[in-house]
């Protein structure tokens, strides 16, 4: 018998085993932390017990109100329905589209403890799906088991991962939706439309991504998503009206499109509990106090969208435009973070450009030079694993507000003294957000470099063609 025809035994890969162990350890720690500091609805919880809090506020109780005939978009009805109202930890109104109630509807039919367990499990599965999709799009091959588990474990262990799976908002389904929308916008447009519809479960993500995809040229995918949103929102609103809810013209249905909902500080959590999430507008306004001549909450996002849109438009006919692991796909994820979002779980979108720049060298068509990939990777990885921004380490390393000096003291380098001299009213919020501001500045620098790369490469390539 020819030796070549003899079937070779499957080899045991230690790398897969180590990746599986790493994955199981991280998942166990994430789940243990969430349940150890679990928020108990209807009780006056300690300030540290905010585990699963955003799942209660943003998923479970809005859906429960919806399926039991209450109107979650009515302030009085929802307040009387939510058990945390008297303790001040209940969200006044869910910042969601009516269609989101249909997406999460299944969780409302379960008792709270079962819904929590199922939602954690589904979110972890979605993290695995996100890893598989990113790795497949990067390498053009099906993702290997070891690589998928290792990448997923890193996603869960990074700073936005630990915070996301602790408070457990509906982040992962929106992030996976963005990934699908960007990855399949060219070949499987129907899947891209479904992805963008899922991204709209978090309007602060879905709305800017849809705008930027239009500027990139993905008109068909965005149109399909709008059609799906019209159908699903119509069904949800019809059900609410059928149960005695307000008419279609009531503005409460469309509050998720109100950008003012996303321009404050970290939602549902005090600054000393989660000093981690700042968009670029909030960062500038916080540090500058009331000394700004214009309202940056409108001017700066519009300016960044215009500049980013021009960069996306410049590559609309380029091979670099397609897919998710491309300069345009990376830029869309980064712009959504620095312009529209303000909570730490939004930084889960960073995994889209991070995986892209790390594995860009394996593709036949490079989007960045080796040096630019190294710089971008450094700028994006540092915020993901900057654990010094956590209150736990701030307190133990003595870098929190209690250790930043006294305005009356004469220490030359006291941060609190400097802030007092700048006439900033809420110095404690700023002190807690020092490291978070560094994070957002690094991401902003990555955006600038990406835009410059896109614009200059388009200019010089066009210039070389005309001079040839």
**How much is the pLDDT for 270?**
40
| pLDDT lower than 70: segments of the chain | 1-12, 92-93, 139-141, 246, 248-249, 257-297, 316-325, 340-343, 359-367, 389-436, 458-468
Strand partners, 38: 51
What is the per-residue pLDDT across 394-409, written as a single tens digit (0 to 9) for each?
A: 555 655 545 555 444 4
What is the per-residue pLDDT across 214-241, written as a single tens digit (0 to 9) for each?
A: 888 888 999 999 999 999 999 998 888 8
SS3 51: strand
Q: At what angle do helices 370-384 and 434-467 cross, to 10 degrees?
A: 160
Buried/exposed 6-30: b ≥16 CB within 10 Å, e otherwise: eeeeeeeeeebeebeebbeebbeeb
Residues, the chain: 468
**How much is the pLDDT for 268?**
39
Identify whether the C-beta of residue 169 lies closer than 8 Å to the C-beta of residue 54: yes
Q: Does the global pTM surpass 0.85?
A: no
Identify whether the C-beta of residue 342 lies closer than 8 Å to the C-beta of residue 282: yes
Helices (H), 277-402: 280-288, 296-314, 327-335, 351-358, 370-384, 391-396
**How much is the pLDDT for 313?**
81
CA–CA distances in Å: residue 63 to residues 55, 233, 239, 311, 389: 11, 14, 13, 40, 33
**How much is the pLDDT for 464?**
42
Q: What is the DSSP string of 115-157?
A: HHHHHHHHHHHHHHHHHHHHHHHHHSSPPPHHHHHHHHHHHHH
Identify whether the C-beta of residue 282 lies closer than 8 Å to the C-beta of residue 260: no
**How much is the pLDDT for 60?**
93
Identify whether the C-beta of residue 243 lies closer than 8 Å to the C-beta of residue 340: no
Identify whether the C-beta of residue 66 lies closer than 8 Å to the C-beta of residue 101: yes
CA–CA distances in Å: residue 421 to residues 283, 285, 408, 417: 18, 16, 11, 6
Residue 244 to residue 255: CA distance in whole angstroms: 19
């Amino acid at each position: 018998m020819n030796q070549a025809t003899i079937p070779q035994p499957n080899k045991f890969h230690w790398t897969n085993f180590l990746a599986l162990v790493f994955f199981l350890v991280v998942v166990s720690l994430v789940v243990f932390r969430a349940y150890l500091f679990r928020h108990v609805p209807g009780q006056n919880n300690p300030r540290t017990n905010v585990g699963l809090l955003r799942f209660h506020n943003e998923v479970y109780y809005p859906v429960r109100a919806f399926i039991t005939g209450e109107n979650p978009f009515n302030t009085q009805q929802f307040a009387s329905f939510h058990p945390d109202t008297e303790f001040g930890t209940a969200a006044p109104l869910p910042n969601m589209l009516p269609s989101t109630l249909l997406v999460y509807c299944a969780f409302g039919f379960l008792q709270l403890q079962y819904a929590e367990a199922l939602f954690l499990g589904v979110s972890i599965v979605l993290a695995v799906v996100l890893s598989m999709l990113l790795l497949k799009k990067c390498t053009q091959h099906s993702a290997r088991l070891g690589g998928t588990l290792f990448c997923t474990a890193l996603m869960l262990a990074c700073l936005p991962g630990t915070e996301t799976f602790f408070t457990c908002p509906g982040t992962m389904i929106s992030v996976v939706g963005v990934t699908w929308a960007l990855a399949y916008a060219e070949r499987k447009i129907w899947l891209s439309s479904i992805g963008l519809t899922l991204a709209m479960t978090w309007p602060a993500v879905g709305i800017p991504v849809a705008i930027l995809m239009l500027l990139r040229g993905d008109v068909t995918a965005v149109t399909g998503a709008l059609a799906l949103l019209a159908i699903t929102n119509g069904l949800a609103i019809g059900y609410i009206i059928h149960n005695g809810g307000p008419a279609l013209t009531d503005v409460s249905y469309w509050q998720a499109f109100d950008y003012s909902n996303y321009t404050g500080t970290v939602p549902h959590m005090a600054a000393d509990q989660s000093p981690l999430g700042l968009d670029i507008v909030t960062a500038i306004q916080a540090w500058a106090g009331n000394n700004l001549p214009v309202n940056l909450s409108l001017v700066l996002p519009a300016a960044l969208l215009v500049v980013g849109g021009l960069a996306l438009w410049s590559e609309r006919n380029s091979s670099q435009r397609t897919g998710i692991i491309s300069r345009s796909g990376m830029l869309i994820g980064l712009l959504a973070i620095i312009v529209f979002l303000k909570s730490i779980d939004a930084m889960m979108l960073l995994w889209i450009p991070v995986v892209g720049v790390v594995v860009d060298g394996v593709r036949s068509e490079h989007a960045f030079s080796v040096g630019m990939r190294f710089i971008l990777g450094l700028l994006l990885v540092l915020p993901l694993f900057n654990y010094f921004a956590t209150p736990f380490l701030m307190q133990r390393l003595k870098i929190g507000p209690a250790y930043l000096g006294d305005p009356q003291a004469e220490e030359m380098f006291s941060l609190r003294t400097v802030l007092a001299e700048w006439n900033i009213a809420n110095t404690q919020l700023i002190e807690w957000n020092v490291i978070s501001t560094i994070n957002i500045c690094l991401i902003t620098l990555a955006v600038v470099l990406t835009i410059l790369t896109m614009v200059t490469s388009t200019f010089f390539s066009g210039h070389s063609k005309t001079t040839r």
